[in-house]
Each structure stands twice: as C-alpha cells, then as structure tokens.
Amino acid sequence: MGTFCSVIKFENLQELKRLCHWGPIIALGVIAICSTMAMIDSVLWYWPLHTTGGSVNFIMLINWTVMILYNYFNAMFIGPGFVPLGWKPENSQDNMYLQYCKVCQAYKAPRSHHCRKCNRCVMKMDHHCPWINNCCGYQNHASFTLFLLLAPLGCIHAAFIFVMTMYTQLYNRLSFGWNTVKIDMSAARRDPLPIIPFGLAAFAATLFALGLALGTTIAVGMLFFIQMKIILRNKTSIESWIEEKAKDRIQYYQLDEVFVFPYDMGSRWKNFKQVFTWSGVPEGDGLAWPIREGCHQYSLTIEQLKQKADKRIRSVRYRVIEDYSGACCPLNKGIKTFFTSPCTEEPRIRLQRGEFILATRGLRYWLYGDKILDDAFVEGVSRIRGWFPRNCVEKCPCDVETDQAPEGEKKNR
C-alpha cells in the first residue's frame, strides 16, 4: 500500500510528462497489443471461458498484465532517488573524497552520478533507460528488474496462446503436411462455432502480436540477464566500468596494489538482498552503503578521483580496426553485440579503420567515448561522442600511450 501511495502522490503533475516520450509509448503499446490480442484469441477462438482451463488461462493473462504494468509504472514514477540539492557529508573532512556537482550545487554521494537527461545526481545510478524515460537506480532498481522478468514471462504465455490459436483454427482448413503431429484439440473445440470467425484480419493481427511477443521475450530477457549479473555482484553498469579502468591503471603503472570493489558483500544472497526486500523498500538511504571488511566507505570515489586526475585513464585510447556504419543494432558485428546494444538515446559513432577513439566508459560488448577529428592528440579538439562496438577497436600499443603518462611514471617504466 505504501508503494501504491508513493505512485499516486506525484511531486507535481509534471511527472505525467514522462509518458509523452517515444520509449513509454512503444513499451506500453507492445504491452497493450500483446495482452489484448492474447485475451481476444483465448476467449473467441482458443480456450472458452466456460471451461475451467479457459477461466484459469484468462485470469493468468490478466495477472501478467497487471503485474507488468505495476512494476513498469513503479520504475517510471517512483524513480531512482536523487541526491538532495546542496547535500554534503556530515563530516566536512569527507569532502576531500567526493566530487562536487556544479549543477546540483552538492557533493556527489558514494555511488551517485549526475544524469544529463534528468539533470540531477542519481543515487546508485545504473543507467538512464529510455523505455521508462527515467533513470534506473537506488529506489526503482527492484521494480525495474521485476519488470524485465515479468515481461518475457507474460510474452511467452501470450506467444503460446497465439501459436495454439492459429494452429487450432487453421488445422482443418489448410494442409501443411503435419500428418505426424498429434496434439489433443478436444479442450479447444468450440461448439457452437465462435460468434466471430477467425478470418484473414484476425490471422494477420495474431501473427503480428506473435512477432512482438517473441521479439520482446528475447530483447527484454537479455536485459534481465544483464541486470541480474550486476545485482548479484552488487554493482552497477557504471561501477563495472570504473572497476575495469582501475585494473587498467594498476596494470599500466605496475603498482603493487589490488583494487577490491567495496560494495560486494562476498555473498550473492547478501548482494541480492541489497536490492530486493520483502517490504519493497531497498536497504539503506541511498547515501551511505555497507562495505566489505577491509574497505573504505569512499574507496570507489577515491578511485574515481585518481582516474579523473590521470589523463591516460580518464579516457582510454583505442584505434579503429574495423569499419562500423553507426547502426543501432549491427547484425554484422556478432550476435552478442546485436542483442546487447545499449538501450539509450545516446548516439552511435560511425567508424572508419585507422581512426582513434577515446573511450570513457562501456559495457562488455560496447564502448562509449569521443572520436578524435584532428590528427593531433590534444585535449580540447573537436570530437564526436557516442557508442560503438568493442570488437571494432583495439587498445593502442603501450609505446603510443606512454607519451601520455606523467614524466615520473615514464622513468619508472
């Protein structure tokens, strides 16, 4: 009930403007088409309501729709939680460990990052999702992940209804050479015949809905798998990239240290409980976090400050080894690259072999950064910013990168 009240008590009606965006319009459209067609097909042509199985099937369809929409709107309207404007740590000495956000006029709390779309510092920011037109973070991470789980499950159920509806309606009309297929259709026989015949329009609508359901199952299912991986490690997509750059910094300078991610509780179950709770409210306040033994509360932010001070680490230099057209989901770059394309409004960069890229963050199969347009490697030159496939680039050799290392480090190497 508390969650429901937090949904209907908007700070102001401006929150409703989140629905006026291509992401929610497409997402809600897919949900509406799949759920409506599944109910129509089930009631009219596949499994009548006067049977026990038909009634249970219809209730399950309604249940999927309600749960999907509930978690979807929770993720959208509850939001990720924002760092209070003007926030600063209670102990003023901790200011030295934190970055200051000029836009929010506040220090960035541990695990928080500034979102240019929301124009606020987001607590435990994972990413800005265009499908909910909001960030995924501390408060809505659980609802967002449950939506990613329920949507494929509901689409699988709907796809089964679509397939069985077309099969039962076309079985006695067309011959597909399925003489060896033995499926009991007694539960789906209609006597008397349905009021509305299963015509060409109904077949086309069902086939279209089947395509949407299967596509959603694959795409959203992949996103759910990715989210569960980082949840079980108690990380976010941004923190995974920070950790990767930390290991690169240690390896490059040959430092005698090991970076330990401070928020991994050492147990997948403990990490899971950091996001999912029985009350529906995540643990903590989004500003201070439990840390593993031997780590500092600001270990991650200290690492960020090190990377920010290090020009080489702040943006890792890559050389383009394969052309890329700038397509959102490139089919010719591998099946994993195709299905893990970042769900964001940020653009893609068109690449040509021999160009240089400065990557500032990334995912397993994608990187985000700036393309250098000038030949000279100088800070402040004109660049094009966006995403590109990781398998189209390679890290520049050490002899090229050494020029960017501080003088003291060159001597040490």
User: Which residues are catalytic, by number?
Assistant: 129
Asked if residues 219 and 231 have their Cβ atoms less than 8 Å apart, the reply is no
What are the φ and ψ backbone dihedral angles of 18, each rounded to 5 degrees? -60, -25
- Separation between Cα atoms, residue 260 and residue 242, nearest integer Å: 12
Crossing angle of the two packed helices 299-309 and 237-253, in degrees rounded to 10? 60
Phi, psi values for residue 227, rounded to 5°: -65, -40
Which residues, 6+ apart, have CB-to-CB distance to 141 below 8 Å?
A: 80, 124, 126, 231, 275, 282
Q: What is the DSSP string of 1-28?
A: -HHHHHHHS-SSGGGGGGGSSHHHHHHH
Q: Where are the alpha helices (DSSP H) in 42-140?
A: 52-73
d(CA 300, CA 111) in angstroms, rounded, equals 8
Q: How far apart are the first and last CA of the chain?
A: 61
Backbone angles phi, psi at 284, to 5 degrees: 85, -170
Place of tokens 């994993």: 336
Residue 205 CA: distances (Å) to CA of 36, 167, 239:
11, 15, 43
SS3 state of residue 360: strand
| 218 three-class SS | helix
Q: Nearest CA to 105 among 84, 122, 79? A: 84
| Cβ–Cβ under 8 Å, residues 338 and 355 | no
29, containing H or E segment: helix 22-41
**Best CA proximity match to 48, nearest among 193, 216, 245:** 193
The sheet with strand 383-389 has its strands ordered as 383-389, 366-372, 356-362, 316-320, 393-395
Q: Tokens 């501390």 appear where? A: 138
290 alpha-carbon distance from chain centroid: 24
